[in-house]
C-alpha cells in the first residue's frame, strides 16, 4: 500500500480534531467488545491461549488502555505552560502536542491483538494516520484485525497490511513520520537501518534475557509466593514466548533445592496436562520456533543440566515446562533470548554477585528481584540498568499504564503505554509569545563589560541584582 494516500488524508486535518480521536477510540473499544469471542478463537488457533489468559494479557489490558485514553485525552491534548528566564520578560510560552503525521506500526505474533492495538491506541489518540503491519506468524489474529478494523475505524486514516517479510520490506522502503516496531533484536536492526534513509524516528520494543533474582526469604509464605510468581512469570505468559518473561534465575546455591521443589509443585498444579487443565498453557507458535527451542537443549552438556521436564511433542508444538540447573555459560540457552518454557537456574556464592552477572550481559528489558532487603534493593536500582525493575513479582509492570514500558540499550529504544503512548506518537512543539513593550537593550551589540554583567544577572534569574545594575547602583 502507498503511504501517500494516508498523507493526503492527514493533510485535511480531520485526524487532528479531538472529536475524531474520541470517535475512533470509542470505535476501537466497540471492535474489541463486539468481537471478544472471535479474538479468543483466533488466539486459540494461533497460540493455543486459554480464554482467561487471552483476557488477562490482551483484551483486558486493551480495554483498560482505551478507557484511560478516553478519560484523559482532553488533558493530554492541552498545551502545557512553560516557565521562561528573566531575559524573556513579558513573554509567555507553552508546549503544544501535535501528531507526527503518518506512522507505521509493525506488530509481533506472541500477543498479536495486544501488541497491534496497544500502540494503535496511542497513535490514534495523538491524531495520526496509521498503517498497521500484522504478523504472518499469527494468521488467524492477523486476518481478524484485517477484516474488522476497517468496519469500525476510519479506513481513510487507518489501514491494515498483512503478509510476510517481503510485505514488511516494501513498507520500510516508504517514508514515515514514525516507525513503531515490536519484535526481535535482529529485525529491529533492519528496521532501524531502513528508517535511517529518511531520518525517521523509531520506537523499538525488543527483548533480552530478563533475569529473576531470588534472595534469602525468611518466611515460608514468601518463598512460596516467589516460586508461584516465577512459575507464572516464566511459563504462564504465552508459554514463555514473551519479551518480558523471566529468562533465567539467579539464586544462592544453598536455596536452590527449596526453590526447585516449590516450582515443581506449582508447575504440576498449574500445567498438569493429565488433568482438565490441559489447555491452560499456550503452545509454541510454529515448527520453526519449536525446533529452535529443541536445538537449545539437544546439546549433551545442556541436556545433562535438565532437572525437571524436558519432554517435547513436535506434532502438538508442545514443550513441557523445563528447569535446568547451571547449564554451560557459553551455551546458546545462556547467550540467546530463550522465548519459550525453558528456565535455567544459576547458582551463586553470594546473591550480591547477581549484580555483576547482570551487568556482564546486554541490558535486559526487565529485571525481577525477590527480596525484602532494602539495601540490596537500593543497590539494584542504582547499579543495574534495565527497561524496568520489579520487586517481588514478575510481568505485572506491563499492565500499569501509568508506568512507561520500554527497553534500554539492546532491549529497545523509546517507551509507550498510557500517556507515554500518546507522547511517543506526538511532537511537543514549543510556542513562545513576546511583548513589544519591553526590550533589554543590553542583549544587542556593541558589547562591553557592563552588558556582560547585566546578562549574568538576567541568566541567573537574580531580578533584584539586575535592577540595581541597570540603575547603576551596583558596580559591574
Residue 290 CA to residue 312 CA, distance in Å, equals 9
In Å, the largest CA–CA distance within the chain is 91
Q: Tell me the pLDDT of the chain averaged across its residues.
A: 93
Share of the chain above pLDDT 90, in %: 86
21-68 pLDDT per residue, tens: 999 999 999 999 999 999 999 999 999 999 999 999 999 999 999 999
- On the question of pLDDT at 132 being above 50, the answer is yes
102-119 pLDDT per residue, tens: 999 999 999 999 999 999
Mean pLDDT of 400-425: 96
369-393 pLDDT per residue, tens: 999 999 999 999 999 999 999 999 9
Instruction: Please give the pLDDT value at position 86.
Output: 74
Query: Residue length, the chain?
Result: 476
Long-range Cβ contact pairs of 222-229 (< 8 A, separation 24 or more) = 222/370, 222/372, 223/258, 223/259, 223/262, 224/262, 225/392, 226/259, 226/262, 226/370, 226/392, 227/259, 227/262, 227/263, 227/265, 227/266, 228/262, 228/266, 229/370, 229/392, 229/393, 229/394
Mean pLDDT of 72-93: 91
317-356 pLDDT per residue, tens: 999 999 999 999 999 999 999 999 999 999 999 999 999 9
159-171 pLDDT per residue, tens: 999 999 999 999 9
Instruction: Please give the pLDDT value at position 294.
Output: 97
Instruction: Please give the pLDDT value at position 463.
Output: 60
Q: Compute φ and ψ for 412, nearest 5 degrees.
A: 145, 170
Instruction: Please give the pLDDT value at position 346.
Output: 98
Share of the chain above pLDDT 70, in %: 95
Confidence of residue 247 (pLDDT cuts 50, 70, 90): very high
- Burial string for 100-119 (b: 16+ CB within 10 Å, else e) reads bbbbbbbbbbbbbbbbbbbb
The DSSP string of 77-112 is HS-EEE---GGGTTEEEEEEEEE-SEEEEE--SSST
Instruction: Please give the pLDDT value at position 441.
Output: 85
196 compared with 85, residue with greater pLDDT: 196
Residue 243 a catalytic site member: yes
Instruction: Please give the pLDDT value at position 304.
Output: 97
Q: Identify the active-site residue in 53, 58, 118, 205.
A: 205
- On the question of pLDDT at 131 being above 50, the answer is yes
- On the question of pLDDT at 97 being above 70, the answer is yes
Residue 205 a catalytic site member: yes
Least confident of 185-194, 206-215, 318-327, 465-474: 465-474
Mean pLDDT of 141-145: 98
pTM equals 0.94
- On the question of pLDDT at 272 being above 80, the answer is no
- In this structure, the number of other CB atoms found within 10 A of the CB of residue 133 comes to 24
Instruction: Please give the pLDDT value at position 438.
Output: 79
346-371 pLDDT per residue, tens: 999 999 999 999 999 999 999 999 99
Domains and CATH numbers, the chain: 3-206+416-428 (3.40.605.10), 210-406 (3.40.309.10)
Bridge partner list, 346 = 250
Q: Identify the active-site residue in 243, 337, 410, 457.
A: 243
Instruction: Please give the pLDDT value at position 209.
Output: 96
Confidence of residue 475 (pLDDT cuts 50, 70, 90): low
Instruction: Please give the pLDDT value at position 275.
Output: 47
Instruction: Please give the pLDDT value at position 445.
Output: 95
- On the question of pLDDT at 181 being above 70, the answer is yes
Confidence of residue 278 (pLDDT cuts 50, 70, 90): very low
- On the question of pLDDT at 476 being above 60, the answer is no
Question: Which residues in 288-365 belong to E strands, given as ranges?
Answer: 306-308, 312-313, 318-319, 322-325, 342-348
Amino acid at each position: 500500500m502507498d503511504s501517500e494516500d494516508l498523507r493526503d488524508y492527514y493533510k485535511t486535518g480531520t485526524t487532528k480534531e479531538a472529536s475524531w480521536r474520541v470517535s475512533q477510540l470509542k470505535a476501537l473499544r466497540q471492535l474489541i467488545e463486539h468481537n471478544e469471542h472471535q479474538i479468543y478463537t483466533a488466539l486459540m488457533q494461533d497460540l493455543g491461549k486459554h480464554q482467561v489468559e487471552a483476557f488477562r494479557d490482551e483484551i483486558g489490558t486493551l480495554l483498560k488502555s482505551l478507557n484511560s485514553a478516553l478519560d484523559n485525552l482532553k488533558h493530554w491534548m492541552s498545551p502545557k505552560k512553560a516557565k521562561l528566564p528573566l531575559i524573556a520578560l513579558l513573554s509567555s510560552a507553552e508546549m503544544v502536542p501535535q501528531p507526527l503525521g503518518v506512522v507505521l506500526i509493525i506488530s509481533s505474533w506472541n500477543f498479536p491483538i495486544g501488541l497491534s492495538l496497544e500502540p494503535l491506541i496511542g497513535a490514534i489518540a495523538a491524531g495520526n494516520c496509521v498503517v498497521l503491519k500484522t504478523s504472518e506468524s499469527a494468521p488467524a489474529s492477523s486476518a481478524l484485525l484485517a477484516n474488522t478494523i476497517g468496519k469500525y475505524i476510519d479506513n481513510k486514516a487507518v489501514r491494515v497490511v498483512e503478509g510476510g517479510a517481503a510485505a514488511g520490506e516494501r513498507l520500510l522502503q516508504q517514508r514515515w513520520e514514525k516507525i513503531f516496531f515490536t519484535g526481535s533484536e535482529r529485525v529491529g536492526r533492519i528496521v532501524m537501518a531502513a528508517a535511517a534513509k529518511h531520518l525517521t524516528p523509531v520506537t523499538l520494543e525488543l527483548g533480552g534475557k530478563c533475569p529473576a533474582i531470588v534472595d534469602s526469604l525468611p518466611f515460608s509464605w514468601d518463598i512460596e509466593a516467589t516460586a508461584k510468581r516465577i512459575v507464572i512469570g516464566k511459563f504462564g505468559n504465552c508459554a514463555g514466548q514473551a519479551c518480558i518473561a523471566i529468562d533465567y534465575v539467579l539464586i544462592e546455591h544453598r536455596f536452590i533445592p527449596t526453590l526447585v521443589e516449590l516450582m515443581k509443585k506449582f508447575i504440576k498444579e498449574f500445567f498438569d496436562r493429565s488433568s482438565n487443565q490441559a489447555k491452560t498453557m499456550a503452545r509454541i507458535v510454529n515448527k520453526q520456533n519449536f525446533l529452535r527451542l529443541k536445538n537449545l537443549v539437544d546439546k549433551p552438556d545442556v541436556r545433562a543440566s535438565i532437572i525437571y521436564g524436558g519432554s517435547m511433542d513436535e506434532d502438538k508444538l508442545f514443550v513441557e515446562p523445563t528447569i535446568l540447573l547451571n547449564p554451560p555459560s557459553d551455551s546458546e540457552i545462556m547467550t540467546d533470548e530463550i522465548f519459550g518454557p525453558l528456565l535455567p537456574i544459576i547458582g551463586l556464592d553470594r546473591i550480591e554477585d547477581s549484580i555483576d552477572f547482570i551487568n556482564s550481559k546486554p541490558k535486559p528489558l526487565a529485571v525481577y528481584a525477590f527480596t525484602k532487603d532494602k539495601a540490596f534493593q537500593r543497590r539494584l536500582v542504582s547499579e543495574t540498568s534495565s527497561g524496568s525493575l520489579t520487586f517481588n513479582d514478575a510481568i505485572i509492570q506491563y499492565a500499569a499504564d501509568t508506568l512507561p514500558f520500554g527497553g534500554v540499550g539492546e532491549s529497545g529504544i523509546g517507551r509507550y503505554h498510557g500517556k507515554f503512548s500518546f507522547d511517543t506518537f506526538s511532537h511537543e512543539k514549543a510556542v513562545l509569545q513576546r511583548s513589544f513593550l519591553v526590550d533589554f537593550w543590553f542583549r544587542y551589540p556593541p558589547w562591553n563589560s557592563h552588558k556582560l554583567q547585566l546578562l549574568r544577572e538576567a541568566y541567573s534569574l537574580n531580578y533584584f541584582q539586575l535592577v540595581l545594575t541597570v540603575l547603576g547602583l551596583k558596580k559591574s
